[in-house]
Chain A
């Protein structure tokens, strides 16, 4: 399941991965817009399709491959005045695509970053029977059933490097397309 507009993505990412996955939708685009720019009353779409020259500039300045063909951008307006830009971007996390939003000031500094959709592929069920001993006191039908969805995960820290790099790329996109 993906809400990514087709024209944004190259074929390589738009292929859906048929694996069991943990997906969390944190915020919709409009909810994130309101959180990033609470003072604004209007978000005017200003999406861009990159020209080959822009892609070249973004790749040269960010040192990253620009896999997207365009960028979804909104101008955040308050009483007709530009208060900043709201940009949706996509990166590959461990395996799957993460959608996130970057709020920029009109001058192009990062105000806020919010993850919109997070996805991880998981091999759903827990096979190890020893774990079930943990739940000997559990009643059938309890909402804590083991095969319920995953809500919280603990483990060695997963790096957010791809998002950090993505934000750097978005900043070069600002330089190339919005400045």
Chain B
């Protein structure tokens, strides 16, 4: 085992939030180099998967994939494929075409007109990273790409020889290496206060809460967390955290748990994930616990 003596921690604004990277190792200069690479990986995800940048893959397919096949970055294609798989498995609860509704509700900028009512089934993924739409739908990868970015950053750190660390993209995070990390969860009623903490090792954790994103739309209170089948927002739960082996899955599963509540247990089991719900008063309840224990007590000495 490499002796771990230094810890380097840096943060940059990216993916619409603060991305913090912690790397442990013996050579500080090497750690900085590795962190640079990890930030570059995140920048690539943002460049290709942002709804806001007009030359991203996502913007290109939203503009053109109805008319012609659009070739995308292999990373974008992988995220689209994972999203399609989740949509299939949840019968459309997870659906990246809810972008239409998010645009109507001004969670996303109004960049497209004449968008059709379609759903995830209108997205066709072809060989050689091709994407086509059957209808004039639009997609937003906001519910899954941030987790994917965290995974790419972790991969970059590992490839650069970093033995352990944490990548945290505004609350969606992944802990890798031998060291266990304590992660505090924001209190749903007072987000600037921690509600509690859990220990993680070799695991990702993502949280979706409606506390920062709730707003009024006409007479209704809305949030950006939608049920893809009904296109209505689910406001029964307040804060959902999902732990999973990789962050992309944890990120996407939070949306599914938000809608399905305890009925999401089979989805969680399939991905070796578990979920922690917080009530308004901050009280935690585990919904499902997989065989991979989230609070890794063996790492406590």
Contacts and interface: CB of A to CB of B under 8 A. Distances in A.
A12 B183 CA distance: 33
A134 B194 contact: no
A25 B180 CA distance: 22
Interface string A31-45: 000010000000000
Interface in B197-221: 197-199, 205-213
Interface string A16-31: 0000000010110000
Interface string B282-301: 11100000000001010011
Interface string A134-178: 110111001010101011111111111101100100000000000
Nearest to B14: A160
A121 B192 contact: yes
Contacts of A148: 182
Nearest to A126: B196
Interface of A: 24, 26-27, 35, 94-95, 100, 113-115, 118, 120-123, 126-128, 130-131, 134-135, 137-139, 142, 144, 146, 148, 150-161, 163-164, 167
A95 B168 CA distance: 20
Contact of A139 (B146, B208, B209, B300): B300
Interface of B: 9-14, 16-18, 20, 32, 36, 146, 166, 168, 170-173, 175, 180-186, 190-199, 205-213, 239, 241, 281-284, 295, 297, 300-301
A137 B219 CA distance: 48
Nearest to A132: B196
Given A130-B196, A142-B301, 15 more contacts: A26-B20, A115-B11, A115-B13, A130-B283, A131-B284, A139-B301, A144-B199, A150-B184, A151-B183, A151-B184, A153-B186, A154-B205, A155-B207, A157-B16, A160-B16
A128 B282 contact: yes
